[in-house]
């Protein structure tokens, strides 16, 4: 049951493994490839000369599409369970993922995410390129067990004090499409993976298709900045919008693009290295800092506006303003005409 080509298996726990090189030899370094609850695709079945099944070669969803690791036949049952794919192409039984399923096409879309990353890297303005990199990786937890520390813990070489906590369920930087995890430490300790990390913060979670849509949104906005550089616009249009927007580029709101906090234009001239505060001029902002990295929530806004928002949601700030008005009649009087005009 666990051996058919192209079948999907679900990892029962996170453990580091050594991947294969292009030539098929085993790499020296361990990597976090097998992650609890994550589907893997069977890329190759291995048989010996007598035709006996020896194991298989897998590609984990949370690795790059070309990454491979080998699992021996006798390990399969302990580490994996088979996943069912329904007739619409959804991989089912993924309890760690929202709705318990992922469309199998998400495996292929990882290559598009890699392609987009390469396009971002070639943007001549290194500051903007670095900001766009946020689209691709999680910030993560620095408390996560590193692979050497994990191996020491498992071998008994690392001893913990009775009061010492070790590890964290959240990876320190990994693919956004690791399972979204929000569990107390005690639950993590009881998980089969402990102390290996198992996922990303829910607000960092994004499937490859969702990352693509956010990348399209953000690059579309860049093309609409006031004074946007013609060459950069053409580059983003050709390499991202024309390829991944599915016609959405044509529906872009005519520019110039405005910051959603202050409604003032974003001026591409202020993003240039010569501009004295170019690094802080714009940021990728979140309308709700606890919501996900999706087009509805992310936009290019002024760095100053982002700092004014200060980690609160837009609605938090609206509530603050309402409270101040409600309990300070002098403000209410001062702003009554402006409020009436807003409501008119
Ligand atoms: Zn602004």
Tell me, what's the pLDDT at 137?
82
State pTM to two decimals: 0.91
Cα→Cα distances 244→62, 112, 197, 222, 248, Å = 21, 8, 32, 16, 9
Ligand 1: centre distance to CA 260 (Å): 7
Tell me, what's the pLDDT at 3?
61
Please report whether residue 304 resides in a domain: yes
Tell me, what's the pLDDT at 93?
96
Q: Domain of residue 31: give its range.
A: 8-105
Please report whether residue 322 resides in a domain: no
Please report whether residue 229 resides in a domain: yes
Q: Which helix (H) or strand (E) holds 319?
A: helix 314-327
Q: How many domains does the chain have?
A: 2
Please report whether residue 241 resides in a domain: yes
Ligand 1: centre distance to CA 219 (Å): 18
Ligand 1: centre distance to CA 151 (Å): 48
Please report whether residue 41 resides in a domain: yes
- Give the pLDDT means over successive 10-residue stretches in the chain (344 positions): 76 97 94 97 94 94 96 94 95 97 97 96 93 85 91 89 88 93 95 95 95 94 93 94 74 79 96 84 95 95 96 96 96 95 92
**Residue where a domain terminates, one of 65, 90, 105:** 105
CB 289 within 8 A of CB 141: no
Ligand 1: centre distance to CA 302 (Å): 4
Please report whether residue 201 resides in a domain: no
Please report whether residue 16 resides in a domain: yes
CA terminus-to-terminus distance, the chain? 66
Please report whether residue 146 resides in a domain: no
The two three-digit tokens of residue 48, written as one number? 């010996």
Ligand 1: centre distance to CA 256 (Å): 13
CB 232 within 8 A of CB 273: no
Ligand 1: centre distance to CA 217 (Å): 18
Ligand 1: centre distance to CA 222 (Å): 15
Ligand 1: centre distance to CA 281 (Å): 10
Tell me, what's the pLDDT at 301?
97
Ligand 1: centre distance to CA 339 (Å): 21
- Candidates 119, 100, 20; CA nearest to 64 is 20
């Amino acid at each position: 049951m666990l051996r058919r080509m192209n079948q999907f298996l679900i990892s029962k726990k996170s453990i580091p493994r050594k991947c294969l090189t292009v030539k098929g030899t085993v790499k020296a370094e361990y990597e976090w490839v097998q992650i609890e609850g994550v589907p893997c695709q069977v890329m190759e079945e291995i048989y010996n000369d007598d035709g006996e099944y020896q194991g298989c070669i897998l590609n984990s969803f949370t690795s790059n599409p070309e990454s491979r690791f080998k699992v021996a036949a006798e390990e399969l049952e302990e580490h994996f369970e088979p996943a069912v794919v329904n007739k619409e192409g959804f991989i089912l039984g993924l309890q760690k993922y929202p709705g318990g399923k992922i469309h199998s096409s998400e495996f292929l879309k990882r290559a598009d995410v890699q392609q987009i990353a390469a396009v971002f890297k070639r943007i001549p303005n290194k500051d903007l390129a670095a900001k766009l990199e946020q689209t691709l990786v999680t910030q993560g937890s620095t408390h996560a067990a590193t692979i050497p520390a994990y191996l020491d813990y498992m071998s008994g070489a690392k001893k913990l004090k009775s009061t010492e906590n070790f590890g964290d369920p959240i990876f320190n930087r990994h693919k956004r499409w690791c399972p979204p995890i929000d569990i107390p430490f005690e639950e993590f300790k009881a998980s089969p993976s402990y102390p290996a990390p198992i996922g990303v913060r829910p607000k960092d979670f994004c499937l490859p298709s969702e990352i693509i849509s956010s990348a399209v949104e953000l690059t579309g906005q860049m093309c609409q900045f006031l004074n946007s550089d013609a060459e950069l616009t053409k580059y983003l249009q050709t390499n991202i919008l024309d390829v991944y927007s599915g016609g959405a580029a044509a529906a872009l709101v005519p520019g110039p693009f405005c910051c959603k906090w202050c409604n003032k234009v974003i001026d591409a001239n202020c993003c240039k290295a010569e501009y004295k505060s170019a690094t802080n001029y714009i940021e990728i902002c979140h309308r709700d800092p606890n919501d996900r990295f999706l087009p509805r929530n992310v936009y290019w806004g002024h760095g100053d506006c982002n700092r004014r928002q200060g980690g609160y949601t837009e609605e938090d700030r609206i509530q603050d303003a309402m409270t101040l008005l409600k309990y300070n009649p002098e403000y209410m009087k001062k702003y009554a005409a402006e409020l009436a005009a807003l409501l008119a």
